[in-house]
Amino acid sequence: MKDYRIVFEKTGLMRYISHLDLNRCMIRAIRRSGLPAWYTEGFHPHMYLMFPLALSLGAESLCEMMDIRLTEEVPEEEILRRLNASLPVGLHATQVREPKNVTQDIGSAVYTVELAGDDLPAVWEQFLTQPEILVEKKTKKGMKTVDIRPQITCEAAEPTPDGLCLTLRLPAGNEGNLNVSVVTDALAAFAERPVQVKNVCRITIFCTDGEVFS
């Protein structure tokens, strides 16, 4: 047996399929590819498949990852070729490698966020100058008021012809998670009007030590 980590893109209409549907789609693709997938033992065997970090519905990604286990060693280029021949439009495998990090290592993720609104560059700048940004978050003990300002790292804010393109680094993983929608909702509350989110795309996943998750 051998484990492989597959990096893939999820774009276009595929952004609208749920994590459960993505799991089913990948299982079907692996079966069609003829790759020697490993199955669990017992009365209800299932294909070993694991996604280190789930993606929010409606978001694209250039850095999704899926761990699979094969019953025998297969060249990485062969896995890539056979899997891509079986994947639907909007899902495309870009790399195959041996897993280095584990899910518990994940600490943050970087997203590009495209927003529409001519005044957003100025509004965003004012938004970040706030000493605190309070939001209501659901926890195991109920709703809790949380200051998300320390969790938002804006790596870039580029004006576009119709709005603003942000590059945000946000907490992700088991120790904490900040969804892009929480930030955009807080921005809308600050602006006192709706903010149109044109696109969200995850571009990198980082470990807690700052290294790229691989």
pLDDT digits (tens, 9 = 90+) for 9-43: 999 999 999 999 999 999 999 999 999 999 998 88
Q: Tell me the per-residue pLDDT of 70-126, one tens digit each, with 9 for 90 and over.
A: 999 999 999 999 999 999 999 999 999 999 999 999 999 999 999 999 899 999 999
pTM of the model: 0.93
Tell me the residue range of the domain where 43 lies.
Answer: 2-99
Question: 140 and 113 share a domain?
Answer: yes
Radius of gyration for the alpha carbons in the chain, expressed in angstroms and rounded: 19
Share the mean pLDDT of the chain. 96
How many residues can be counted in the chain?
A: 214
Per-residue confidence band for 186, with pLDDT thresholds at 50, 70 and 90: very high
Query: Residue 175: pLDDT above 80?
Result: no
Query: Residue 139: pLDDT above 80?
Result: no
Looking up residue 94, the CATH number of its domain turns out to be 3.30.70.580
Question: 110 and 93 share a domain?
Answer: no
Is residue 129 in a domain? Answer: yes
Last residue of a domain, one of 33, 65, 99: 99
Task: Name the residue type at position 113.
Answer: V
2-10 and 153-160 strand pairing = unpaired
Is residue 114 in a domain? Answer: yes
Question: 77 and 23 share a domain?
Answer: yes
Q: How many domains does the chain have?
A: 2
Per-residue confidence band for 137, with pLDDT thresholds at 50, 70 and 90: confident
Question: 95 and 121 share a domain?
Answer: no
Rounded CA separation 166/31 (Å): 39
Q: Three-state DSSP class for 113?
A: strand
Rounded CA separation 26/198 (Å): 27
pLDDT of residue 212: 97
Question: 65 and 87 share a domain?
Answer: yes
Question: 40 and 108 share a domain?
Answer: no
Query: Residue 8: pLDDT above 80?
Result: yes
Per-residue confidence band for 174, with pLDDT thresholds at 50, 70 and 90: confident
Question: 178 and 145 share a domain?
Answer: yes
Is residue 20 in a domain? Answer: yes
Per-residue confidence band for 138, with pLDDT thresholds at 50, 70 and 90: confident
Question: 137 and 109 share a domain?
Answer: yes
Helix (H) or strand (E) holding 110: strand 106-116
- Cβ-based neighbour number of residue 9 at 10 Å: 18
DSSP state of 47: B
Looking up residue 160, the CATH number of its domain turns out to be 3.30.70.60
Last residue of a domain, one of 47, 69, 99: 99
Contact 212, 105 (CB under 8 A): no
Question: 42 and 126 share a domain?
Answer: no
Give the rounded percent of residues in the chain with a pLDDT score beyond 90: 92
- Cβ-based neighbour number of residue 114 at 10 Å: 17
Task: Please report how the helices 120-128 and 180-191 are oriented relative to each other, as an axis angle in degrees rounded to 10.
Answer: 100
Per-residue confidence band for 191, with pLDDT thresholds at 50, 70 and 90: very high
